[in-house]
């Protein structure tokens, strides 16, 4: 498990949780992994998933209710992370690692899905479709990000 101590001077104490998919939560593993070593690591802090069915609810004039079902919709999957940008004045290699990983694994470049394992939640196969980078936190020298995906196969 990663241990992080933030101070105004941006000192991190970081113990990587393994080589598969960045540090942070020990149950989230991404394959291929996002490189997270050195003085500017990447932490994967969680995932968000949303699955739903394709339905059409209809109410008739005599108050009779129908629900047409058409199967399963594509599910949404987000990988949530934080890039620790290192010491103040550093170039923040972690953000570059995230952008490079996204460029190599986005669905327009890589036709096969990636795998995200969630411990007891099973493994999802997902297509990488987007990258959102929030504003940097200058006080703690961190950069939050979200990798957007579409579920190809749920566990």
Tokens of 66: 């129908």
pLDDT above 70 as % of the chain: 77
Domain positions in the chain: 23-153
- Given a cut of 60, is residue 18 above it in pLDDT? no
Task: Give residue-wise pLDDT tens across range 93-130.
Answer: 888 889 999 999 999 999 899 999 987 778 999 999 99
CA distance to 47, 70, 130, 137, 149, per residue, from 142 (Å): 18, 43, 20, 5, 23
CATH architecture of the domain with residue range 23-153: Beta Barrel (2.40)
Q: What's the whole-model pTM score?
A: 0.78
């Amino acid at each position: 498990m990663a241990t992080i101590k933030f101070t105004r001077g941006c000192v991190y104490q970081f113990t990587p949780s393994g080589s598969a998919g960045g540090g942070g939560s020990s149950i989230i593993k991404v394959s291929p992994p996002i490189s997270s070593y050195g003085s500017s690591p990447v932490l994967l802090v969680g995932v968000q998933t949303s699955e739903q069915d394709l339905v059409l609810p209809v109410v008739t004039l005599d108050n009779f209710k129908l629900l047409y079902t058409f199967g399963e919709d594509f599910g949404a999957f987000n990988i949530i992370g934080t890039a620790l940008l290192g010491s103040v004045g550093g170039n923040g290699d972690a953000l570059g690692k995230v952008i490079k990983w996204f460029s190599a694994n986005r669905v327009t470049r890589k036709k096969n899905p990636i795998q995200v394992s969630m411990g007891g939640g099973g493994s999802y196969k997902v297509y990488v479709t987007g990258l959102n980078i929030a504003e940097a936190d200058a006080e703690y020298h961190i950069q939050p990000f979200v990798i957007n995906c579409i579920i190809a196969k749920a566990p």
